[in-house]
Amino acid sequence: MNRWRFVLSIRWARYLGLAIVFAIACGLLSWWQLARREEKVVENARVAANYDAAPIPLDEALPRLDSYEPDDEWLPVEVTGVYEEQLLVRNRPLGGKAGFELLAPLRTADGSVFVVDRGWLPVGSDVTAPETIPAAPSGEVTVIARLKPGEPSLPGGTSEAGVLASIQLEEVARILDEPVYTEAYGLVASEDPAVAEMPIASIRPEPDEGPHLSYAFQWVIFAIIGFAGLGFAIRQEYRYLNAEDPEERERAAKRERKRAAKRTDSDVEDELIDSGGR
């Protein structure tokens, strides 16, 4: 036991403390990755449950202008009204290309406005606006759209040309100065009557949990490696401090014989070449 007394020193206690702190940090990061995976699992389940569901009336899904629950995401709703002047949202990339989202406020019979995202448009030649903006159906239109939560505001806000920085529904309400559904908007699925020219519609999200589970396992492995490294360092110092001990010298000789037995002919030739070169 006296041979291992060195591990009781303050120096090795500090090394152990560092290994413990490192393991705790790895554990927290692993837990974070598992939590992110769980969010993906819930999101995938929500898409599977809602995306192809039968549409329900808007006022049933959102009984108030500020109604919205996370479980409502992707739920199809049906609403009838008249489109007002369309709005653009800038900096919306798709497939590596810059573009805009085209928003169309839909005024319903009770005077409230539901914001419909009619799709994506690529930037035009001057990059400050799309080349063309497809017109929305005129007159009364029945829209089926999938609910999405409103987005937070972004620095820069609405430009002088009236282009939004994000789908910030309270900002839309400010621009229109009308009662707007401020917690959720809709990704258009269909319009009746339909128009010939439409922006590029959104597509169904692919179920994907991401690499979070493998990352979680990696952080656990890193924690184990930390303790393994500490154990290796302790073992190396033990061998150094007890190099003259007969038992340790015998173990060192056995290790050397094993290494020698594993040498290949190529290793021997390389050693001969190196010794001849010197």
Q: Which two tokens stand for residue 128?
A: 């400050």
Q: What is the pLDDT of residue 256?
A: 66
Look up residue 80 and give its two tokens: 């009838």
pLDDT at 239: 78
d(CA 51, CA 123) in angstroms, rounded, equals 29
pLDDT of residue 80: 97
pLDDT band (50, 70, 90) for residue 267: low
Give the angle subtended at the CA of 198 by the CAs of 192 and 199, to the nearest 5°: 130
Nearest by Cα to 98 from 74, 119, 129: 129
The CB density around residue 75, as the number of other CB atoms within 10 Å, is 23
CATH 2.40.50 assigned to 55-192: yes
Average pLDDT value for the chain: 88
Residue 268: its pLDDT value, please?
Answer: 54
Q: Is the dihedral of CA 237, 243, 247, 249 positive or negative?
A: positive
Q: Out of 155-164, 238-247, 262-271, pick the least confident.
A: 262-271
* DSSP-assigned beta bridge partners for residue 184: 149
What's the pLDDT at 271? Answer: 59
Burial tier of 178 (Cβ tally within 10 Å: 0-12, 13-18, 19+): middle
Per-residue confidence at 245, pLDDT binned at 50, 70, 90?
low
52: left (phi over 0), alpha (psi -120 to 50) or beta: alpha
DSSP state of 188: E
| Residues in contact with 220: Cβ distance below 8 Å, sequence separation at least 6, in sequence order | 26, 27, 30
Greatest C-alpha distance within the chain? 99
Backbone angles phi, psi at 237, to 5 degrees: -70, -35
**Interatomic CA distance for residues 34 and 218, integer angstroms:** 12
Q: Specify the pLDDT at position 4.
A: 76
Percent of the chain with pLDDT over 70: 87
Q: What is the pTM of this model?
A: 0.74
At 83-119, the pLDDT tens digits run 999 999 999 999 889 999 999 999 999 999 999 999 9
Q: What DSSP string describes 71-120? A: GGTT-EEEEEEEE---EEE----BTTB-EEEEEEEEEETTS-EEEEEEEE
For 189-225, what is each residue's pLDDT tens digit?
A: 999 999 989 999 988 988 888 899 999 999 999 999 9
CA dist list (Å): 194 to 38, 53, 150, 254: 39, 21, 26, 84
Tokens for 74, please give them.
């992707």
* Cα–Cα dist 192/172, whole Å: 24
Whether the CB-CB separation of 127 and 97 falls below 8 Å is answered with no
Q: Residue 112: name the closest of 67, 167, 69, 163 by CA.
A: 67
**Region 123-133: what's the mean pLDDT?**
86
Token reading at 100: 């805009």
User: Using an 8 Å Cβ cutoff, are 76 and 58 in contact?
Assistant: no
